[in-house]
Amino acid sequence: MTIGTQDWNLTQIAAHIRRGRVDAANLPALAQAVKDEGGQLVALWGSDDRFVNNSRDSDSRSSPRPQAGEGPGVRDAGYAIHIACITAAGLVWISAALPETEPAYPDLSAIFPQADRMQRATFDLLGIRAAGAVDTRKWLRHKAWNEDEFPLRSDFVARVASSESPLATCHKPLAEVDGYAFIRVEGDGVHEIPVGPIHAGTIEPGHFRFSIIGDRVLKLEQRLGYTHQGVEKRFVGMDLAAGAKLAGRVSGDSHVAFAWAYCMAVEQATLSAVPDRAAWLRALFLEIERVANHLGDLGYMGNDVALSFGFMQFWRLKEDWLRLTAKLFGHRYLFDRIVPGGVAVDLDEAGRKALRAASKRIEAEVRDLKVIYDEHATLQDRFVNTGVCKPALAARLGLTGLAGRASAQAWDARAQFPQAPYDTLDVAMATARKGDVQARSEVRFAEVFESMRLLRALLKGLPAGAIQAPLNPAAGVREGIGWVEGWRGEVIVALRIAEDGRLDRVHPHDPSWQNWPLLEVGILGNIVPDFPLINKSFNLSYSGQDL
Amino acid sequence: MATHLLLQKIFKTGIVSEPAPAPDLSLRTRDQELHADILKVFGQAISIRHVDAGSCNGCEQEIHALGGPHYNIEGLGVKFAASPRHVDVLLVTGPVSRNLETALKRTYDATPEPKWVVAMGDCAGGCGMAGAMFGENYASCGKIANVIPVDVEVPGCPPTPTALLAGILAAVSGGR
């Protein structure tokens, strides 16, 4: 496929997904071509390819170009850097092999600023350097491992964990100070407010450093990585079924999106087909998850402008929704209902009717509440022109997903690059242009209504048949990538299965990676008391990006 | 003007709050002393500080749900507070990531005695499938009890709001 003027030898590996390999030196040219066409970089990660196949001199390295699902990461047996870009033709997964000693690739953050934190995390975890990058500070590493240790390398030896005394791990004194070099704002009357990692509300941990004059924010700098649990390392050596459970727990509020993306990748890698009914049920689950999260967020946005009425009403609806989900599928958040090869739970006729009735009732109630939100003067006063991310800036910095669509970044994989069953549903994308809290609230309302329509269409057209099919046995090293439009934005899971049929490398990507830096920009010029509202209107995942 | 719509909705909705679950004393991990005295002092009201020590944010969803109208926790005397210095109970989620270990210990130290710790979820209690999956590794200390003393462990991935409430009440209710 051609991007820009050059043909990059991309192979189609699934609907709207292409795979290619380039020399690391050509990555900036490729990235620039993607950018010039209006595309975005959505994920960047690395892999340690030295011991794939458990052998350094496997003779099965002859195929010149990868076939669908085949994992040729072994050919160059050093490290590799991978990027996933969204282009006019869909998702493109590009890999570049890197040498075993001093692995480095050219910096991409000058072209795509959203690459910055991903590049730093890749160095922290794998020791692969972005040559020429301006910002080389640590990101996911705090003080649990040293600068010269790289947890995702296969020869990494954890200094922790003695089986007889687990406490020894944690009683080993850590340096008190993280030693992170925040960028300071200086001048008359500037002062700093450090917030977190333990916040005042029930939210995830992270550190925010505000530099302010009076109440106005001059700069916000985030320090994340606090919930780094070593998820990517845990995947190594897992069997394929267990991997789905772990993938779903990368960010609990996006369980369905991650589990589906993971299973899509596994099925692609093993060339396995999923029964139609299973694909439709997966989409049903995804829309249920989207509705649940949007209801919760709309409630909290009301709460953050002191309209506790909004919180109580939306959380009443959300609770009804969750309880029905639990009744029909056995779990309030559908945990572990998506498994490799299909889904674990079916829906009967009575359940179909109940879900259809609930979707109609809740949609009608949300329409009532939208009228109240639209007409409520103090709510509008707080929502409008607060936390603005203008479209041009959103495009430059790669704002994505729901927040992106509220700033005129019109990408929605369900609408533009639909996987089954979305290819038959004609999804209407919700967008807004102003990029303020109000716009993000409007997009949520519109998406609730559209999801309710999709739910009913899915219930109506639900094909008969099996809900699960056995996976084909994986032969040799296999690769796959899954791509699902979760409620927050596009969720990507790229993985490689080793010859023994177990997971060798899994990279789950949450859209929060791209969107966190935009929150730093969105708050500028606003007053500190509006920060909780702006933050909630983005509602980004900490654990999804901390991994 | 939205006021009449708002009032209309409130009256139409009515009261959806449900009766509280009984305390689930089987969730206790250790005997608690001082109960009679403390209950005299506190009455039946408690303040809780939630600490995410490295969870996947699944448990947080259920804590939020607990704040909704069905559960009426403030009516039961349970209140979430913004600072550990103001609370009786720490509600801790997640396996403890090493990056939060210090913060969790400091939060515990900042909480005045007498205090209780409720570990919420399989990761926090080191039980079940998720507890096994999120054990100790280079980045994680595993269950909460590896880092600070725990009084009650509420299993589940995530525990339902009702189970959580039963666990919280078990931590602070009288009777042994």
DSSP A291-350: HHHHHHHHHHHHHHTT-HHHHHHHHHHHHHHHHHHHHHHS-TT-TT-EETTEES----HH
Condensed to tens digits (0 to 9), the pLDDT of residues A70-118 reads: 554 445 579 999 999 999 889 999 999 999 888 999 999 999 999 999 9
Which of B50, B138, B165 would best serve as a mutation to test chain A binding (most A beta carbons within 10 A)?
A: B138
The number of CA neighbours under 13 Å toward the Cβ of B143 is: 22
Residue A438 contacts by C-beta under 8 Å, 6 or more apart in sequence? Answer: A380, A383, A384, A385, A386
Cβ <8 Å between A542 and B94: no
Q: Report the first-to-last Cα separation within chain A, whole angstroms.
A: 33
Whole domain around residue A416: which residue ranges?
231-546
Residue A273 contacts by C-beta under 8 Å, 6 or more apart in sequence? Answer: A267, A469
Q: Report the first-to-last Cα separation within chain B, whole angstroms.
A: 54
Last residue in a domain, options A107, A131, A155: A131
Question: Given CB atoms, is A198 within the 8 Å cutoff of chain B?
Answer: yes
Domain presence at residue A272: yes
Q: Do A403 and A294 share a structural domain?
A: yes
Cβ <8 Å between A230 and B130: no
Domain presence at residue A223: no
Domain presence at residue A299: yes
pTM, whole model, 2 decimals?
Answer: 0.91
Closest residue to A161, CB basis, from B62, B137, B157: B137
User: Any idea what the Cα angle at residue A425 is, between residues A421 and A430, rounded to 5°?
Assistant: 115
With contacts defined as CB-CB under 8 Å, which chain A residues touch B83?
200
Question: What integer pLDDT is reported at residue A328 of this predicted model?
Answer: 95
Question: Given CB atoms, is A207 within the 8 Å cutoff of chain B?
Answer: no
Condensed to tens digits (0 to 9), the pLDDT of residues A297-307 reads: 999 999 999 99
Question: Given CB atoms, is A364 within the 8 Å cutoff of chain B?
Answer: no
Condensed to tens digits (0 to 9), the pLDDT of residues A211-229 reads: 999 889 999 999 999 999 9
Question: Given CB atoms, is A161 within the 8 Å cutoff of chain B?
Answer: yes
Q: Do A266 and A125 share a structural domain?
A: no
Nearest to A45 by CA among A443, A399, A510: A510
CA distance B164 to chain A (A): 14
Domain containing A86 — which CATH number?
A: 3.30.460.80
Arithmetic mean of pLDDT over chain B:
84
Cβ proximity of A477 and A489 under 8 Å: no
Angle between helices A349-375 and A276-304 (to 10 degrees): 30
Cβ <8 Å between B133 and A245: yes
Overall domain count for chain A: 2
Tens of each residue's pLDDT in chain B, 176 residues? 688 898 999 989 998 888 878 777 777 766 554 455 555 555 667 899 999 999 999 999 999 999 899 988 887 788 899 899 999 899 999 899 988 998 899 999 999 988 889 999 999 888 888 878 888 888 888 899 989 999 889 999 999 998 898 888 887 765 43
Closest residue to B138, CB basis, from A160, A203, A205: A160
Closest residue to B61, CB basis, from A145, A169, A252: A252
Q: Which CATH number fits domain B3-172: 3.30.360.10, 3.20.20.80, 3.40.50.12280, 3.10.180.10?
A: 3.40.50.12280
Question: Which strands make up the sheet holding B46-52, listed edge to edge?
Answer: B78-80, B46-52, B89-93, B116-120, B152-154
CA distance B135 to chain A (A): 9
The chain B residue lying nearest A247, using CA atoms, is: B56
Closest residue to A543, CB basis, from B56, B96, B140: B56
Domain presence at residue A372: yes
Continuous H helices in A127-193: 166-171
Q: Phi and psi of A82, rounded to 5°?
A: -125, 140
Last residue in a domain, options A82, A104, A131: A131
With contacts defined as CB-CB under 8 Å, which chain A residues touch B130?
245, 249
Domain presence at residue A380: yes
How many Å apart are CA A504 and CA A52, to the nearest integer? 8
Domain presence at residue A511: yes
Cβ <8 Å between B2 and A377: yes
Nearest to A346 by CA among A300, A282, A294, A290: A282
Domain boundaries, chain B: 3-172
Task: For chains A and B, count residue pairs whose Cβ atoms are closer than 8 Å.
Answer: 194
Say whether the ipTM exceeds 0.85. yes
Cis peptide bond upstream of A391, omega within 30: no
Cβ proximity of A267 and A471 under 8 Å: yes
Question: Given CB atoms, is A322 within the 8 Å cutoff of chain B?
Answer: yes
Closest residue to B9, CB basis, from A158, A313, A319: A313
With contacts defined as CB-CB under 8 Å, which chain A residues touch B50?
202
How many Å apart are CA A272 and CA A14, to the nearest integer? 12
